[in-house]
Amino acid sequence: MEILTHAVNDTRIAEITSGSILIHSPEEGLDLLGNIYYQGFDKMIIHERCITPDFFDLKNGIAGELLQKFSNYRMPLAIVGDFSRHVSNSIKDFIRESNQRKQVIFVESVEDAIRIFFGK
């Protein structure tokens, strides 16, 4: 796992990258959130490839539980990836609703995440 730092004004954003899956469960997501928080980051960006593919099967509840943890701890999260291959209407609706709330967003690039986080 590598943590890249993006700083805009006094806000620190952690970009999490890895060649392997880092989050298999909501508990692992909470551990990562805590790690990032205690390192002084204000927001987090993680790449889709770092999250279990099961996240995108809404029936198992992983996505909802993980996103709830980020909302509860008020850690804005951007998930970067190509979500067009997810064809289920329920996941498309989930992504659209999340993007409207802006606590957890699904975007195509790190640049998009930073732009949305700062309203530019």
Rounded to whole angstroms, the Cα distance separating 28 from 76 reads 17
Q: What per-residue confidence (pLDDT) applies to 120? A: 59
| pTM for the full predicted model | 0.94
Sheet holding 104-107, edge to edge: 2-8, 11-17, 43-47, 77-80, 104-107
pLDDT digits (tens, 9 = 90+) for 58-95: 999 999 999 999 999 999 999 999 998 887 899 999 99
- Secondary structure of residue 47 in the 3-state scheme: strand
- Mean pLDDT, the chain, rounded, equals 93
Please name each of the domains of the chain with its CATH number.
Answer: 2-117 (3.30.750)
